[in-house]
Amino acid sequence: MNLHGPSRSWQSLPAAQQPEYPDPQALREVVADLASYPPLVFAGEADQLRTRMAAVARGEAFLLQGGDCAEAFDAVSADQIRDKLKTLLQMGVVLTYAASVPVVKVGRIAGQYSKPRSSPTETRDGVTLPSYRGDSVNGQAFTEAARMPDPQRLKRMYHASASTLNLVRAFTTGGYADLHQVHAWNQDFVKSSPSGRRYEALAREIDNALNFMQACGADPEEFRTVEFFSSHEALLLDYESALTRVDSRTGRLYDVSAHMVWIGERTRQLGGAHVEFASKIRNPIGVKLGPTTTPDDALALLDRLDPDREPGRLTFVVRMGADKVRDKLPELVEKVTASGAVVAWVTDPMHGNTFEAASGHKTRRFDDVLDEVKGFFEVHKELGTHPGGIHVELTGDDVTECVGGGDEILVDDLHHRYETACDPRLNRSQSLDLAFLVAQMYREQVRGF
């Protein structure tokens, strides 16, 4: 990697969770090619998201961040991208309208192809192979050939991300996301699900409100487009480094693979390459905080990643588990707040609530997810701080991966449509249920009506 501009200091530090490529020369060639590819996002857009996240941190907006645990190359289709986006847009509308708060919409999309794993290997029937680490690294099939890390997959990740982002941009700016389309997004859903029917009632209210505003002289053009940002875990540093470029406007480094990137629970070591990398780029940054995080860990991350105490720069994505969030979160929030920092606090109610069902499926209970969100809101209410948003794993498809929800999925249903490449996702109905419940919590606890 050639060193243009500021130093790439992270490249000499230990990086956890990286694939072991059999042919380092092949990797170098791929990285050199990637470094010559055009950016996927413009640095100015990342700045815009930082401004939006500053509003979240100050308590003036709410973050909705969601998408697959792991995107898959064979799911880069118009229908799947549209349905995911549609789900996020519907959730965004529910939250905006029912909680009366501006919603910053960020997809786990167009780059979420790489997975950290609890174990580097997987054993089935006495055979041990490298774990699946996401489509950017290896294949899901349990064969030696598929599980061998292949650097060519980094290029496929770039192209899959580019075509996904292209379609997302077309939908969000080309008329599909027009607020006047609130009913159209729900058409295929309205009769088949309780949350679809509930949404339809809300969409009618929005219609009335739009008609009222237009009658008052508001410009309908204002509602034609939606601001939507991309994000993923910055896990594979070969890829992220190749897409980290000097911004010609400012001379600063930006990771132009996405608007926002985050550091996962397994790679947030203070002396590690991921934290160093994130400290050097200007994008808004997220860091996952699991139940073992101490206040000193949080303060050290704050000093490394947000030394200037710039609202919008740093988001702490808390994923403690429903049974721990009420115990563990308060002292983190207290100490960080006392330090004078204005960070965005966001709940990821998924990753602390995963368990294996008797059938062997990795799953989550909708009620645990909801309970962790409730705990997160309770802690912030108690401390007078802002519950800034939710970070969830979801899909627009009617999968059966998480149990519970208004259109209840039972443990015995999991096998019907269990399609995730990694962690269990909320389906569309469960996602909408969650949006309604979170909107109600926000309205009651933050807005006070």
Ligand X SMILES: O=C[C@H](O)[C@H](O)COP(=O)(O)O
Question: Binding residues for ligand X, per CB under 6 A?
Answer: 69, 115-118, 351, 422-423
| Exposure string over 223-255, b if 16+ CB within 10 A, otherwise e | bebbbbbbbbbbbbbbbbbbbbbebeeeeebbb
The one of Mn ion, ligand PEP, ligand X, none whose footprint includes residue 86, by CB under 5 to 8 A per kind, is none
Helix/strand/coil for 184 = helix
Query: Count of alpha carbons within 13 Å of 243, Cβ hemisphere only?
Result: 27
> Which of 319, 361, 364, 425 is close enough to bind ligand PEP by CB under 6 A?
319
- In the complex, the smallest distance separating the C-beta of residue 136 from Mn ion, rounded to whole angstroms, is 15
The one of ligand X, Mn ion, ligand PEP, none whose footprint includes residue 117, by CB under 5 to 8 A per kind, is ligand X
Q: Which is nearer to ligand X, 308 or 356 (CB)?
A: 356
182 sits near Mn ion (criterion: CB under 5 A): no
The one of ligand PEP, Mn ion, ligand X, none whose footprint includes residue 319, by CB under 5 to 8 A per kind, is ligand PEP
Site string for Mn ion, 22-61 (x = CB under 5 A): ----------------------------------------
> Which of 255, 265, 306, 368 is close enough to bind ligand PEP by CB under 6 A?
265
Q: Which is nearer to ligand X, 107 or 311 (CB)?
A: 107
Say if residues 93 and 206 touch (Cβ distance below 8 Å).
Answer: yes
83 sits near Mn ion (criterion: CB under 5 A): no
Which residues, in sequence order, are CB contacts of 356 under 8 Å at separation 6+?
A: 362, 363
- By CB atoms closer than 10 A (0-12, 13-18, 19+), residue 169 is middle
Q: Which is nearer to ligand PEP, 421 or 446 (CB)?
A: 421
Q: Which is nearer to ligand PEP, 15 or 202 (CB)?
A: 15
Element spanning 346, H or E: strand 344-347
Query: Which among 228, 232, 130, 218 has a CA at the least distance from the CA of 177?
Result: 228
Question: For residue 170, how many other CB atoms are within 10 A of its CB?
Answer: 12
CA 37 to CA 59: how far, in whole Å? 38
423 sits near Mn ion (criterion: CB under 5 A): yes
Say if residues 387 and 380 touch (Cβ distance below 8 Å).
Answer: yes
Which residues, in sequence order, are CB contacts of 49 under 8 Å at separation 6+?
A: 104, 106, 229, 259, 260, 283, 284
The footprint of ligand PEP on residues 423-442 (CB under 6 A) is: 423
Site string for ligand PEP, 196-235 (x = CB under 6 A): -------------------------------------x--
Q: Which is nearer to ligand PEP, 213 or 300 (CB)?
A: 300
Binding site for ligand PEP (CB under 6 A): 69, 116, 233, 264-266, 288, 319, 351, 423
Residues that bind Mn ion (CB under 5 A): 69, 423
